[in-house]
Structure 1
Amino acid sequence: MASCLLSAPLLFCVTRSKPQLIVPSASTPHQQKPLSDLDDQGTVRLHIPVLMFYRNSVERRGEDPAMAIKEGLAKALVFYYPLAGRIFEGENGKLIVNCNGKGVLFVEAKANVKLEQIGDKSMQPPCPYLKQLLNTVPGSKGIIDCPLLLIQVTRFTCGGFALGIRFNHTMMDAQGFIQFVNAVSELAKGVSAPSTFPIWERGLLTARSTPTITYEHNQFKDFDLSKTTRWWDFEKLLRITKFINVQKLASDPCVFFSKNICHSLLIKRSFTFGSRELQAIKDQCPASTTFEALCACLWKCRTIALRPDPNSTVLLTIIVNIREKLQDSKLPLGYYGNAIVLAAAVTKAKLLCSNPISYAAKLIREAKNIVNDDYVKSITDLMVTSGRPRGAVLRNFLITDNSRFGYDDVDFGWGKPIFGGVYGVGYGVGFLVSHKRMEDTKGKLVALALPPLIMGKFQYELRKMTRAQK
């Protein structure tokens, strides 16, 4: 099985072996485990693609990285045995793992080029070779009754390799995923047990017996649907593509848009922010963290480029890791489930676009700081009382920071990756990943998807915003 991508002057072809199921290397419990009410929220019912690129190692000359990773994976699944199972849906949409040991999908592949021929730019999101390096196995993309992991190891002619992993987000968040991958790497290098033992305990994040919604969770609301929008707003954008299907749109606008629009109308581009650019942004809102300032900058530039109705409500949604936020019911070390909640900064488009980014940064900081034990309980209760809603789509921009979890530190014995991170790029979502250079180790990278004309305007606004202040 082979696939090719012509990206002049590089003809990149990959030949894959038949997918195989990797099962735990020892017997594991067969049982059913309910997910938490944060695991099975609508927003995380999707698969996340991750890529890591590794150079050839002189010390491991002649050794097969696919074999080492496969062996480490089988051993890790003994400790993380629910990942070898399958999910089914119980009463009221509750997701439950059937721990049956069926295994995870594993694919070995060979490329016809050297790793350096791809180039550093193509290794970072949005990687043009994602389909070559992480092929979709037919029938594997569903949430229900599908493998929870798909792994592909692609060897290059130079001895380097790429590791592609697609994981079911309902099983774990970014921190939990890295914890699992680190366990695979440790076991691949010969240790008998992972340094961090996995903890299930999903009942800690389950709705109360008497659900009580105590916060205004704006991140799940689509505001101003009746307002007249400009042609590039969501509704008009759908109509001009000739892909419109009103029934499907009404049932799930997020899925409809990602499936029918992104590949035909949007362009994907990455933006890097070194220390100089980050400082230029931070100088405009000194009371904020770098994350708050960068999110404020991206939110404002994107909104100006999209030109929504000035009186329409716009949102910036961030994903908050609650592991360090909880006081009453702290999560144990090793918890690898979804310990994340959405929090939204909300304002009018005209206020966002006309004010300095310190205005937006303040809103983001307030949204982030509101997350506490009561907020988590409220959003958990909301999941079970409101049909496990997805996050808002219209005039919403969701940013998640994956730069601090160590995607580019995972070592299977061939050294650390040249580059590693999440590679999912879609409309309305921005993944922040680390972008280290020899002279600058604190950089950030974000990949976005926008219509071509809007992307040009966004870039123009971003250049103005990141120019060092005189």
Structure 2
Amino acid sequence: MVEPANSYLLKLASIILSKFYLCVIIVQPTAAMASATITLLDEAQPQLKVSKISAVAPAIPTSRQRIFLSILDFWFLPFRNVQRLFFYRISAEDEYSLVVDRLRESLSSVLVYFYPLAGRIDNGESGRPAIDCNDDGVEFVEASIDMPFQLLERDGFERRPFFQTLVRVANPLLHQNYTPPVLSIQVTAFEGSGICIGTTLHHAIADGNSFWHFMKSWVECSRGLPVSKPPDHRRSIFIRENKGLASISLKAQEVSNDRFAGAKIFNFVPDDLQPEHGKPVGGSDPQNQEETAQNWVDPSDKLELVYSKFRFKKERIRDLKQRAGASSSFVAVTAQFWRCVMIARGVPPEEDVSFTVLVDLRGRVKPPLPSSYFGNCISVGVVKIKARKLVNEDISFAAGLIEEVINFCTTETYVNNMMEWLRSPDNGYPSFLSERGRYATNAVGSPRFPLYDIDYGWGKPLNVQLLSINGIGGMVLDPASDGGGSIVVSTRLPQHQMETLSELLFV
């Protein structure tokens, strides 16, 4: 006989309060019971206890050196933290202390190859940002939390406020103090055979491809395997000689394709080659740039933002690609999401809406870089269009715009001028962000990243999520945990807009 929901709620509450988390609840789950679980998680304020903080250095001392940050690393200097959570179920045989020892020892081994992660960023005597490869180590935090892991599993690992405690630094805000560790690892034990590995990485050290390269190499060391793809640390490839700054401006230029009349793409143009129809978009004062960037990370209007994730199954993606005439699943899914987010946000018809995409350059620069290049190797592209134009056209219009900006921002001329523009201390991602407009959407992540291949030896993660989602209505694209070609998109919006979005996406 199934217990009434209120009886279940009382029982579950008593388990939490008494901390007898291993008691078995022998009832069948119902909608009411699931609601009770969610309510408890919403209201829960579990206490995190940090038992130890240490520094993990490379197992073999590395030669001390300074690696200057490349021009492409400069994009991300002001944004210190990229945070991710990995949730694992561990067996009773895998005691927490043994898991921690294995993680610490294998981390020490992999840092021999990824030694910049054990260093610190500073400006040195020259004032030029660099990684001081001093083997000071990765911050390693051991913690526990009075929350049953089974509740998170039952809740599908939906984002909860206390997730912020599962990483060392609570908020990924602007940060100009580069003395802290560039990488922090926090291993948190839950009640009931579950752990979370939280990572906090300074974005100026590595982009997404480099982060996942490091994680897969760490896994190899944990499993007693050699590092199959040693990293390439030649950041000097993107370091320009200081011959004086070229005069480059960031401008919004009309798209040449008549199909997209009225759309504008951000371009980096030498001042002596500026077309008459190019509208300057740079030059906003530094205070405005900082406020805009801060607002992008943590909206100043204090909207009650909620987080949700949407799964696009393989069959749905195939249908979207056909309707959009898209060349990739990424383009098809982001086109659908961009249109629907702008509709859900109720953007006025004559307002500009923008889409920002980050594109890997490793195989696109000349000569091409190996996939093992460790650092930031990203081009950033932005396209703007009037809201009415975006939402009144079908998905093929949005997909075409996204493909247009991807192709445009990966040309040799664009990349060279972008790097020249980044050399100026007044330029960078804050100034870039400040010009995108109020209704800006960005797409990060990739369904090709190996989120669910990070198996240290006790099984694949049950859930992986990017904790540091920025902007309102931004997208994080990940592969589904069970594979099969599905894509999961995470975002954050005010509650009523999220409800509208969920109704629009799969129509």
Q: Could you tell me which of 157, 181, 198 is aligned with 2:191?
A: 157
Contact 2:462 2:481 in 1 (8 A): no
Whether 1:405 aligns to 2:439 is no
Is 1:204 matched with 2:233? no
**C-alpha distance in 2 between matches for 1:9 and 1:442:** 35
Establish whether residue 434 from structure 1 lines up as the match of residue 474 from structure 2: no
Q: 1:350 Cα deviation (Å)?
A: 1.5
Unaligned runs of 5+ in 2: 1-18, 20-38, 253-264, 269-278
Residue in structure 2 matched with residue 297 of structure 1 by the alignment: 336
Partner of 2:468: 424
Provide the rounded CA distance (Å) in 2 between the counterparts of 1:247 and 1:45. Answer: 15
More displaced, 281-290 or 348-357? 281-290
Instruction: Measure, in 2, the Cα distance between the counterparts of 1:94 and 1:121.
Output: 47
Please name the residue that 2:273 is paired with: none
Alpha-carbon distance between aligned partners in 1 of 2:57 and 2:41, rounded to the nearest angstrom? 37
Verify: 1:180 aligned to 2:214, yes or no.
yes
- Alignment partner of 1:255 out of 294, 300, 303: 294
Residue 231 (structure 1) aligns with: none
The normalised TM-score by structure 1 is: 0.82
**Partner amino acid, structure 1, of 2:219:** S
Structure 1 position 358, deviation (Å): 0.4
Per-residue Cα deviation, 1:319-368 (whole angstroms, up to 9, x for no partner): 10111222x22113421111111112332221101100100100111111
8 Å CA contact 1:313, 1:347 repeated in 2: yes
Looking at structure 1, the residues matched to 305 and 44 of structure 2 have their Cα atoms a distance apart, in angstroms, of 23
- Alpha-carbon separation, structure 2, partners of 1:44 and 1:323: 23
CA gap of 1:416–1:139, structure 2 versus 1, over 3 A, is closer
RMSD over aligned Cα atoms: 3.3
Matched ranges for 1:190-229 at <5 A? 190-191=224-225, 193-207=226-240, 209=243, 211=246, 218-219=265-266
Q: Equivalent residue for 1:169? A: 203
Segment drifting more, 373-382 vs 194-203: 373-382
1:351 aligns with 2:389: yes
Distance 1:66 1:45, change over 3 A: same
Post-superposition CA distance 1:187-224 (Å, at most 9, x none): 22234x41111111111123465747598575589x99
2:230 partner SS: coil
Mapped partners of 1:264, 1:165: distance in 2: 27
- C-alpha distance in 2 between matches for 1:260 and 1:396: 13
Residue 373 of structure 2 is aligned with which of 329, 335, 341? 335
State the distance in 1 between where 2:266 and 2:127 align.
Answer: 21
Q: Does 1:47 align with 2:81?
A: yes
| Larger-gyration structure (1/2) | 2
- Residue 112 of structure 1 aligns to a residue whose secondary structure is strand
- Matched residues in 2 for 1:59 and 1:253: separation? 50
- Does structure 2 conserve the Cα–Cα contact (< 8 Å) formed by 1:6 and 1:12? no
Deviation at 1:264, TM superposition (A): 4.8
CA distance in 1, matches of 2:501, 2:122: 42
Contact map agreement 1:50 1:420 (CA 8 A) in 2: yes
Structure-2 change in CA distance of 1:333 and 1:287 (3 Å)? closer
SS of the aligned residue for 2:112 comes to helix
Q: Is the 1:40–1:94 Cα contact (8 Å) retained in structure 2?
A: no
Contact 2:299 2:471 in 1 (8 A): no
Deviation at 1:177, TM superposition (A): 0.7
* Deviation digits for residues 248-283 of structure 1 (CA, Å, limit 9, x no counterpart): 555431214533537653222222222243234334
Query: Separation in 2 of the partners of 1:76 and 1:149?
Result: 13
1:111-161 per-position Cα deviation (integer Å, ceiling 9, x unaligned): 33442221264525x454422322427999665111101111112333332
Shift in Å at residue 372 of structure 1? Answer: 3.0
SS of 2:130's partner is: strand
How much identity, in percent, do the aligned residues show? 26
CA contact (8 A) 2:249 2:280 kept: no
**Shift, 1:51, TM fit:** 1.1
Equivalent-residue separation in structure 2 for 1:52 and 1:180 (angstroms)? 15
Q: What does 1:56-455 align with in structure 2 at a 5 Å threshold?
A: 56-57=90-91, 60=94, 64-89=98-123, 94-119=128-153, 121-123=155-157, 126-136=159-169, 144-191=178-225, 193-207=226-240, 209=243, 211=246, 218-219=265-266, 249=288, 251-259=290-298, 261=300, 264-326=303-365, 328-370=366-408, 371-385=410-424, 387-390=426-429, 391-392=432-433, 393-394=436-437, 395-428=439-472, 429-437=474-482, 441-455=484-498
Q: Which amino acid aligns with 1:366?
A: E
CA distance in 2, matches of 1:92, 1:354: 53
**In structure 2, distance between residues paired with 1:442 and 1:337:** 28
CA apart distance, 1:15: 2.2
The residue aligned with 2:499 is 456
Amino acid at match of 2:476: F
Q: What SS is found at the alignment partner of 2:349?
A: coil
On the 8 A contact 2:298/2:470 being kept in 1, the answer is no
Taking structure 2 as the reference length, the TM-score comes to 0.77
Letter in 2 for 1:347: I
Q: Give aligned pairs, total.
A: 435
- Aligned-partner residue type, residue 446 of structure 1: V
Distance 1:92 1:447, change over 3 A: farther
Equivalent AA in structure 2 for residue 181 of structure 1: M
Tell me the SS of whatever aligns to 1:123. Answer: coil
